[in-house]
Amino acid sequence: MTRRFVRTIDLDGDPAAIAAYEKAHSPGSTPPAVLASQRRHGVAELAIYRVGNRLMMVMDVTDTFDPEGLDREAQSDPALIEWHRHMKALQRPLPGHDGWAEMPCIFRQSDHPWE
């Protein structure tokens, strides 16, 4: 069984920053250590969407999802530290948040019965 998390953050509005962020996430550009860490800690699928400078992350996780372990590894592995440092320089958190802001689900079609 999987659970879904949706998060949002803004990018620096500079077109060069947006291009750098997209390039860093293009196939073959994201460091293998980042992808391996996500998978090791129960992230089954992760997608990032963009409109303007607003990003939305959709993350499907397994029952073994370990966000604390993911965070610990991100703070101890040099490759992950560098990745997060580089990404953070391009991002602008929403007011009141330090990083990606969790977006609670307010509508799900399947919660509404068919007539």
Write the CATH number for 64. 3.30.70.1090
User: Could you report the average pLDDT of every consecutive run of 10 residues in the chain (115 residues)?
Assistant: 95 95 97 96 98 97 94 95 97 96 96 91
- Residue at 114 is within a domain: no
Could you give phi then psi for residue 79, rounded to 5 degrees? -65, -40
pLDDT value at residue 95: 96
- Full domain range(s) for residue 67: 3-104
pLDDT value at residue 45: 98
- Residue at 111 is within a domain: no
pLDDT value at residue 31: 96
Tell me how many domains the chain contains.
1
pLDDT value at residue 53: 96
